[in-house]
Structure 1
Amino acid sequence: MSTTLLIHDTGKVRTLTFNRPEKKNAFTRPMYEAATEALRQAEVDPAIHVVVLTGAGDVFTAGNDIGDFVKNPATGEDAPPLLFLRALVNQSKPVVASVDGPAVGIGTTMLLHCDYVVASDRARFSMPFINLGLCPEGASSLLLPRYAGMALASELLLFGEPFDAATALRAGLINRVVPAAQLAEVVAERAQALAAKPLEALRVSKSLLREPLRAEVNATLRREGIEFSKRLYSDEARETLTAFFTRKK
């Protein structure tokens, strides 16, 4: 059992908590592997009707742990971030996300594959791929223009600047913004409300909503992964990552 991913069941709701608060819940390879396995287990467990994703403390996730990411480059079809995203995309049960504080990189793009997202009024989102010499991931190049419109999607992906919960709501990334003090209560109530619905009806309804785009989503994940791998070994990416570590030191 990974200590960096906590698993807690409340009735028919399984909560997965990203648990590296000292590193702003940044993802390492073992965290991705644990989260992927937890999603797969929830998928086949008949006692679980809803999955909740959240972060420990007042942070959702800072995205990839850059140090771990450089040591273990996420390339190929079996890259841990890609396997995690595919497990999320293929989850037939509703996935609810509870977002407090920063949601960076994959911390934002994973929300495109969740079914109900509640953010606190202090949540901050960012897809800074371009600032690292990289490119969009998580099928964001496909889904964000559909949800947000091309103008806003282009702004968020091409500038790579942080944005607030009100902008995330306008972009269709989240469903609701609540005061931080009410976040846990609202998420628990919404998750339990979903869990009380007939499970097969939930699955069929989610499939009808998601299935028309599933092939495109998987194809886009593949294309983005190929381009992401190329960018990762580019001179631009090496320069920006070197600058990042220099500033950190």
Structure 2
Amino acid sequence: MTDHILTETADRLTTVTFNRPDKKNAITQDMYQAMADAVNAYATDEEARALMFTGNGDYFTSGNDLQDFATGPRGDGLPPVVQFLHAIKDCPKPLIAAVNGPAIGVGLTLTLHCDLVYAAGSATFAAPFVKLGLVPEAASSMLLPAIIGMAAANDVFMTGRSLTSEEALRMGLVSRVFEDGEFAGETGALAQLVANAAPNAMRHTKALVRTQNTEITECMTIEGEIFAAQLGSPEFGESVAAMMAKRPAVYK
């Protein structure tokens, strides 16, 4: 277990908090395992009826901790990141993202599997995979164009630029935006509203809205294979080396 993921259930609401503010809530393999376990536990807990992701500090999450992932997979079986992605994909109950600050990489793509996405005014969203010599993951190559359109998705993916919370709202990527000072109170109240709703009606509503599970699974598999190949590529090596040296990457 890790104290970099905090999980608390109270009043039928489970809150999962990224708790690594000194590292901009960058996610390690141990954190993915804790998150996967938390989502799977929530899915089978009859007392918990809504789950909300949020971040401690100024960031929602800056994405994967590249140095941690460079150590390679740990143990046998599915890697923790894959366990987590399948957990949020298959969860039958409401998932909420309370994006309190920058949501980068998986910080953006995990929100695509959430049923409600709330953003603070200062929140930003980015998927800079190409800048790292990588490709989209979490079925985002399918889900993001479906939400914001192909041209807008290509603008996000291919330039790696950040979207402001208001841009994300206009595009339909987030449900609502709140001023920073009101964010915690507003999102907490809305999450509690979901947690107090009729549970079977909520499950059925989610199932009716999300009907592409097979296609999402197939997309995740294809993305995962390409992503893994790119992790071993010269492009990724150059991207990381350039980032560490604080210089522009040069690709051959």
After TM superposition, list the pairs within 5 Å mapping 1:1-249 onto structure 2. Answer: 1-72=1-72, 78-210=78-210, 212-247=211-246
- Please give the alpha-carbon distance, in whole angstroms, between the structure 2 residues aligned to 1:10 and 1:218: 32
- Please give the alpha-carbon distance, in whole angstroms, between the structure 2 residues aligned to 1:149 and 1:102: 22
Query: With structure 1 as the length reference, what TM-score do the two structures score?
Result: 0.95
Q: Which letter maps to 1:143?
A: L
Q: Which letter maps to 1:204?
A: H
Give how far 1:166 is off: 1.5
Q: Which letter maps to 1:115?
A: D
Give unmatched runs, 5+ long, in structure 2: 248-252
- Please give the alpha-carbon distance, in whole angstroms, between the structure 2 residues aligned to 1:145 and 1:170: 14
Give how far 1:58 is off: 2.0
Q: Which letter maps to 2:227?
A: F
Stretch moving more, 79-88 or 144-153: 79-88
Deviations 1:61-106, CA, capped at 9 Å, x for gaps: 01101111212269x9822222111101111110111111111100
Local SS of the residue matching 1:54? strand
- Please give the alpha-carbon distance, in whole angstroms, between the structure 1 residues aligned to 2:114 and 2:127: 17
Local SS of the residue matching 2:194? helix
- Please give the alpha-carbon distance, in whole angstroms, between the structure 2 residues aligned to 1:77 and 1:231: 21
Instruction: Indicate the residue corresponding to 2:250 in structure 1.
Output: none
- Please give the alpha-carbon distance, in whole angstroms, between the structure 2 residues aligned to 1:227 and 1:169: 30
Stretch moving more, 36-45 or 231-240: 231-240
CA RMSD of aligned residues (A): 1.6
- Please give the alpha-carbon distance, in whole angstroms, between the structure 2 residues aligned to 1:2 and 1:23: 15
Number of positions where the alignment pairs a residue of Structure 1 with one of Structure 2: 246
Q: Which letter maps to 1:247?
A: K
- Please give the alpha-carbon distance, in whole angstroms, between the structure 2 residues aligned to 1:38 and 1:127: 25
- Please give the alpha-carbon distance, in whole angstroms, between the structure 2 residues aligned to 1:8 and 1:58: 20
Q: Which letter maps to 2:25?
A: N
User: Where does structure 1 differ by over 6 angstroms across 4 or more consecutive aligned residues?
Assistant: none
Give how far 1:2 is off: 2.5
Give unmatched runs, 5+ long, in structure 1: none
Deviations 1:124-162, CA, capped at 9 Å, x for gaps: 111000001110111111011111011101110111112
Query: With structure 2 as the length reference, what TM-score do the two structures score?
Result: 0.94
